[in-house]
A and B are shown apart, each in its own frame.
Chain A
């Protein structure tokens, strides 16, 4: 459904995102947690917005969650996504519900999508040389 090899690859060495991309390569969903106050945060930021600490660690969480909101894209606008419709969802993680991860929701008829439905993430390699690993979300069985 996607032309995975054509999806533009961001700078995987970007220091703010590198631990995340290393995580997906290892089939782990890793998010940021403040070393001091232990607050999880997303998207990656240089500072904890609760305590202002810049000490950060990356912790793996189960790639399971529920659909918080979504859109069904009806016309192609992005490289690697010439076939429509496809679904972009925001997934609230079961382990940390205030963290929402953006990803494609697959293996489901878009008309059957419902907010709140349980989803499981799986890791999919993409990019011209399989250099990045994305997360696709499917309905939990």
Chain B
């Protein structure tokens, strides 16, 4: 059993409120989340000696200066939405090697009240491709880039809009059990979903993740106390052409495909062992897509898992019990790690997955990068 070897643990998680507009700077929000995570870990912030920031968000220099930290390990992971789970891996390596004791992962942004996505600098790889081959044809947003994946899947396997709708509705139902969620208290019906305005066909408004003002933080430590959540295994992978989706073959191949296999092989476990999954839900179809690529359903069979409440609390595999990026907040996936930890500690109240012991978390970004982790509670 994997738990026999030394594992790094998530010891602290924290976040601010998640809202459409918060009248504090992103820097202040980030510091609040970090202080909360340190308190949650039972450490003084000054004990944080490793920092992994997120490109384009608040830099590690800001946190270091604000909290007077003296880090001995700093690294940046330039993998977009894959970065939260990949940072768990790097932080694990750092604390297990002795390079640091407490490594901080954090996000802080004015993603909603700040500049629009299309007006912010792009950190995607292959910038020349974007400029020469995509922008000149009016293709410049994540919704458009991900829509073509969904459209092709629809052609190959068939896909009912109501399946995508159920992914959005399940996220919203979970968010309505989560008081900190940006969309808490705002019901979403299938009629609302189907009436959503077109963004990039097949994606309409409610297929797309939120933009959020807020911050979150996670601390990974070389510690294994009673409340700490073990990072049992974590891996990365890449799509067949890492910087270009248009000529990828197989077209729907993503980094998660390899990453999940690595974790299942490492642990001697499989999808059937998971009590819940936190899936990087930038768009509705990407939940279905990743459930298939990680092995929770066969290719073309994800809709059956999603039907009949399969991904809701109480279903076969509760997915994104916090509401995900579709309904809790956009924290580039770090809120998925936070939720997995709270579930495994049994802190989730009305949205608690009963006896949650093992939770899978995915990351997906930069057009091809995928990451996958399994976190384990104390009773594993």
Contacts and interface: CB of A to CB of B under 8 A. Distances in A.
A39 interface: no
Contacts of A132: 136
Contacts of A104: 137-138
Contacts of A70: 148, 151
A102 B248 CA distance: 13
A102 B198 contact: no
Interface string A77-107: 1101100011010100000001111111000
Given A14-B132, A73-B144, A78 B138 contact: yes
A134 B137 contact: yes
Contacts of A75: 197-199
Interface in B116-145: 118, 126, 128-129, 131-141, 144
A47 to B, nearest CB: 12
A71 B148 contact: yes
A49 to B, nearest CB: 8
Contacts of B234: none
A16 to B, nearest CB: 6
Given A20-B132, A43-B133, A74-B200, 5 more contacts: A16-B128, A21-B132, A74-B204, A88-B139, A88-B144
Interface of A: 2, 7-11, 14, 16-17, 20-21, 42-43, 68-75, 77-78, 80-81, 85-86, 88, 90, 98-104, 110, 115-116, 126, 132, 134
19 contacts: A2-B138, A7-B135, A11-B131, A43-B126, A69-B151, A69-B152, A69-B155, A70-B151, A71-B148, A71-B151, A72-B198, A72-B201, A73-B138, A73-B200, A74-B201, A75-B198, A78-B139, A88-B144, A98-B249
